[in-house]
Amino acid sequence: MPMIKKAFVRAAMAIHSHLARRGRSPTVEVPNMSWDRVSELAKLVKRARYRGWHLAADSLCRDLVYVLPSLESHLTAIREELSRSRNRANHVLTANDIYSDLQSLEREFPELGLDLGLKQLSVTTDPIELEGVYLGPFEIQLYWTRPLHTGPPAYEVVAKDPHPAESRRNVTHPHVMDNVLCEGDGHTAIRQALTAGRLFDFFMLVTSILRTYNSESPFVELSLWGGTSCSDCGTLVSEDYSYTCYRCEETICGECETPCGGCEECYCSGCVGSCADCEEPFCRSCLKTCEGCQRRVCTGCLEDDERCTKCHEDQEREDETATENPAPIGAPIHSDGLGQAPLPA
C-alpha cells in the first residue's frame, strides 16, 4: 500500500475547501489588473505622440497589442461563467480526487513544490527548446487562493534558466512576458480546470502551451530571438540582418544604415550628416568647415584655400560683375589758375 503523504492531504483539503466556498458564492471578478495596464499604455502612447517621440509610441503600441488579448479573454471568461452559473452549480473535485492529482503531478514532473503557508503549488518542466532556440526549464507557480481575474495572476511562469529575447529581457518565452503566460485559445480550458480543482489538467495545459510555438501571436518571434531593435526605426532585426554604427555602435537595420561617402563606413542617422554643397551623406569626421561661409562640407567640395565651391562661385560672380561694371572715376580737378603768376595792376 503506497504511503500517504500528509502534506498532500492537507493541501488537497485546503484547495477543496477554498474552491467549494468560491463555488457556493460566485462573484464577478472584474479584470482590474488587465484594464489598468491597457489604460496606462494608452495614456503613454498618447503622451509620446504629443511630444513627437514616434519610436517610443510605436514600441508602446506593440505592448498594447500584446496585452489587449488578455483583457478580451478575461471579459469573455466572465461572460461565459455568468452564463454557466445560471444553469448549473460549479462542480469541484473532491479532496480525494485533488490528492490523486497531486500524486500524478509528482510522477509527471521532475520537480514539485508545495508551500501551505504561501498557498502555492508549483511544478518544474523539462528544458524547453522551440525551433532550435533553447529557452530552458520553467516553473509554473499556482497560488490557489488568488482570484482568477483580479489582482495578481493566479499563476506565474518563471524561467529557471532564463534565455530571454535579446530585444526584450522581460520576455523569457515567445508567449511569456513578465512571468505571465499568453494563454491564447487555452484560456477557457485553463479557467475551467482551475475552477473545478483539476490540478493535473491545469498544469498539463500550461505545459502544452509552453511547448508549442504560435507564430501568429508571439511577444517576440523566434526568428528574432537573438536580434535587437534598430536604434533608428525601432524595428526588430535578427543578427544576420543587423548592422552596427561605426561611431556609436548602436544596432541598425539594413534600411537605416547609411554609408559615408568619405570613409565608406556605415552609420546611424544620428551620426551622419550631409555635405552642405553636394548634399551627399558623410560622417562628422569627413566634413570640414568652410573658411568663408562656415558651412560643413566634404573634402571634395572644399578648394585648396579651405573655401567651399559655393564660396568660390560667389567670388567669381562678384569679380565678373566688377569687370563688366567698373566703378566710376572721381570728378576732374580744375586748375583754377594753378601755376599762373598774378598780373600787376
Q: For CA atoms 107, 109, 111, 116, give the dihedral sign.
A: negative
* Per-residue cell: 302: 572644399
327-to-49, 313, 318, 324, 333 alpha-carbon distances in Å: 60, 22, 13, 10, 18
Question: Residue 336: inside a domain, yes or no?
Answer: no
Question: Residue 104: inside a domain, yes or no?
Answer: yes
Strand order in the sheet with 171-173: 171-173, 176-177, 180-181
Phi, psi of 144 (to 5 degrees): -75, -10
Q: Do 194 and 257 fall within a single domain?
A: no
C-alpha span between 193 and 205 (Å, rounded): 9
Give the model's pLDDT for residue 332.
Answer: 54
Give the model's pLDDT for residue 326.
Answer: 66
* Per-residue cell: 280: 551627399
Apex 189 CA angle, 185 and 194, nearest 5 = 135
Q: 98: closest CA among 202, 230, 183, 234?
A: 202
Q: Do 213 and 240 fall within a single domain?
A: no
Question: Residue 339: inside a domain, yes or no?
Answer: no
C-alpha span between 274 and 297 (Å, rounded): 8
Q: Do 85 and 166 fall within a single domain?
A: yes
Helix (H) or strand (E) holding 42, with range, is: helix 32-50
Q: Do 96 and 160 fall within a single domain?
A: yes
Question: Residue 199: inside a domain, yes or no?
Answer: yes
Antiparallel, parallel or unpaired: β 266-267 and 272-274: unpaired
For every one of its 345 residues, what pLDDT tens digit does the chain have, with 9 covering 90 and above? 467 789 999 999 999 998 888 755 555 566 777 788 888 888 888 888 888 888 778 878 888 887 787 777 777 777 766 665 544 445 789 999 999 999 999 999 999 999 999 999 999 999 999 999 999 999 999 999 998 766 788 999 999 999 999 878 899 999 999 999 999 889 889 988 998 999 999 999 999 999 999 988 898 889 889 877 787 777 777 666 678 888 888 888 888 888 998 888 889 888 888 898 888 899 988 988 898 888 898 988 888 778 888 888 888 787 777 776 665 655 555 555 444 555 454
C-alpha span between 96 and 12 (Å, rounded): 7
Q: Is 3 in a helix, a strand, or coil?
A: coil
Tell me, what amino acid is at 173? H
Give the model's pLDDT for residue 330.
Answer: 56
Q: How many domains does the chain have?
A: 2
Give the model's pLDDT for residue 89.
Answer: 45
Q: 256: closest CA among 240, 275, 270?
A: 270
Q: Do 197 and 111 fall within a single domain?
A: yes
Give the model's pLDDT for residue 109.
Answer: 96
Residue ranges making up the domain that contains 298: 236-317
Give the model's pLDDT for residue 51.
Answer: 81
Q: Do 100 and 218 fall within a single domain?
A: yes
Q: Do 59 and 127 fall within a single domain?
A: yes
Q: Do 79 and 138 fall within a single domain?
A: yes
Give the model's pLDDT for residue 343.
Answer: 45
Give the model's pLDDT for residue 345.
Answer: 45
101-to-21, 108, 110, 117, 202 alpha-carbon distances in Å: 20, 10, 15, 20, 10
Q: 66: closest CA among 211, 165, 176?
A: 176
DSSP 134: E
Q: Do 190 and 90 fall within a single domain?
A: yes
Q: Do 146 and 287 fall within a single domain?
A: no
Tell me, what amino acid is at 271? C
10 Å CB burial of residue 79 (0-12, 13-18, 19+) is exposed
C-alpha span between 157 and 122 (Å, rounded): 10
Give the model's pLDDT for residue 166.
Answer: 84
Q: Do 78 and 106 fall within a single domain?
A: yes
Q: Do 189 and 116 fall within a single domain?
A: yes
C-alpha span between 202 and 213 (Å, rounded): 19
**Does residue 142 contact residue 105 with C-beta atoms inside 8 Å?**
no
